[in-house]
Structure 1
Amino acid sequence: MRIKRTLTAAVLLTSLTTLTACEDARPSRSATVPPGVAGPSAPAPSSLAEAQKYVQRYASCEEMGTEPGDSRLPLTDLTTVGKWSVSERGVCTDRTERGEIIFYMASDMKEFQAGYKQRVMDKIAAGSGTYGLNSRVFVGENFAVTPTETKTALALAASELRVLTCNPTFAVPEGYEKEAALVEGCVLSDFVGSNDGSGSPNFETPQEDPAAGGAPAKPGQPAQGSLGLPRAENLGALKELVHPHTVDCTNMSTAPDAVAVESIDYVPVVSGDQLAWGIKERAICGNAAGDRRAHDLNWLDVVRDMKLLQTKAKAAQQADLKGDGRLKATASRLLVGENIAVETNSASIRHGLYQLQFLTLECRPGFSAPAGYRLEKSQVEGCVLTNYEG
């Protein structure tokens, strides 16, 4: 019995040891995604030349120079070689935006971030309370760049580099990535701030609220509720409402493969599973690509959950706005009724739908409409329904 118990214990110990070894070998999230760098795909070039090649994937960066007296360097530089663990510094010409991009190769990114934080704190203590709010310091795993032009910063925000911000009053706005920096009190994000509004759109900027104060925001607008939105119980009724005078549905299909069609000229609002967008029935009208290029594509939706549809459409619209604050010309707009919607990128069709009392979902920060246009609350915060396209 003693031998049997000893053997059993040995087998159990071996099993536990094997299990522990397997668990120890499993990589943790902190090991694969270290804080303070731009995620698992953060660039880590081995040289200044490689760092330049990486940046050139997103922005113009020509004629790299490393001389301390290069006239393209700013008069007040962020830091120099020998400080903040910077081993090499360079500057290239951003011909597209007529600016420069300064490079810093860092042997210790935590030391670099700590140095930048101290600079921000010193500036604030000296009376510049807003210093660093519109940071242009983009960091990777072992290098940083500071573009002089806002449009270049927006382009770099689409890369794996992240903006390092250490001003204690800064908060990453809704809709943008937020990651922990290597030093406490700083944050990494893909938000590019600016004083003139040319940076990343801030989706938390208040919209004009037509219900504020219980009074109409515009002459002729209701203090509560809506002036009325169209309704249809099914796709047949929706087609009858909009065809043929507004939306040409001579060629109309509800086949899943047809409805899922996209083209470079026509991008629908809804993507993927329509049920996940709160849509009960969906159809496409127009001519998909065949012998000719696709043309006149529009989508009709009968909606089961309008709040869900507007919520997901808001996220899609904000993703489109993140680049330059503008909606792509090929992107469809969502025009809604009470329980129906139409997706179209045609301005003439939208104006026809406004005559039928459809309203477009508008989520651009700070949007307002002139007197005489409809402006009503949507079912999601931060958006309005309107027939104005300013």
Structure 2
Amino acid sequence: MRFKRTLTATAAIASLLTLATACEDPAKPAPPAAAAPAATADAPAQASPSAAGAAPATLAEAQAYVRKYTSCENLNSDPNDSRVNLAGYTPIGTWAITERGICSDQKEQGSIVISMVSDMKAHQQAYKDDVTKRLDEGYWDAGLYDQIMVGKSFALSATKTGTGLALAKSDLRVLVCNPDFSVPEGYKKEKALVDGCVLTDFVNSRDGKGSPVKGAALPSAGSIEELRKLVSPKTVDCTEMLVTNEHIASIDYQPVVGRDVQGAGVKQRAVCGKLGGPRPVDMNWLDLVSDMKTLQTVSKESQLAEVGHQRSLTQSKLMVGTNVAVESNNPTVRKALYKLGFLRLDCEPGFSAPAGSRIQPAQVGGCVLTDFERPVS
């Protein structure tokens, strides 16, 4: 499962990603800290025209480039600079990083950490390897919010989302290596120097202040069988499917819709999973919906009961389309459904989703539809 997360580790890794730009050199070991970055001024990047930007040879030249788009004052290369805690950053001399400096974005009241890089391909490969390692350790969101902005000979990360948004208007690009990331509609997508990574002008952020996202159309189906084909076989295992309005319970599964199927706005209902034996497993409910507002109202009541600790049974989460729904308590299944365009109904009081997440109004007040789930420790 990739839904556990340690905030301290994530924060350290995010700050670690003060990275560099796009260069065409083949991967090679990182140079020692004293090595000078190999860069030529104003040369376009080989990987993609937009990702090039300028190719500063020094921190001062990188600062001058950043200043075209946002404030970058009081540049300092002292590792003990108090503006940013560098304890979690990749040390100079590794990942092809040759020099590092910190400046202040006075407009956003934050800081920018700039790293000069001598071999961008090696640098991107090292970053990708680190993201892969974190994903394997269970950090499902590894690399989704790092906001590493790269050019040709330098890279940077900022402590404020507003700084990233300002710099996204430059030729710098955000480097993302999480395989579950997809560039939202309307944003640039360019090839990185290593497979499995992309460059984009989309700024993702946990604070909800990143780049806005346009939502795609929700999925629909004309029948239960059509819905089954839509979600099978890679998303929901419907090898065994029973079309029924009967209530089928499980020790570890309690659907939102109970015995009163039609009263919940559901026209037809099926259950997928291993139904034999005293304890059915891998259960996911498929719903052909006749009244989506009624179904969402039932789900809202169920969620609020859970928040108030009035129920102790495990509740499924309702994933909705236009006239269809899937109920599942399996995070892996829900993750796959998000990729198909389904959104989860969330009625938690005060719920908010970070930029980069889809979020749109539900049909009942106090609820939203979203593809964001808070990680479970």
When Rg is computed on C-alpha atoms for both structures, the one with the higher figure is: 1
**Which structure: greater helix fraction?**
1
TM-score w.r.t. structure 2 length? 0.46
TM-score w.r.t. structure 1 length? 0.45
Structure number with greater CO (CA < 8 Å, separation at least 6) is 2
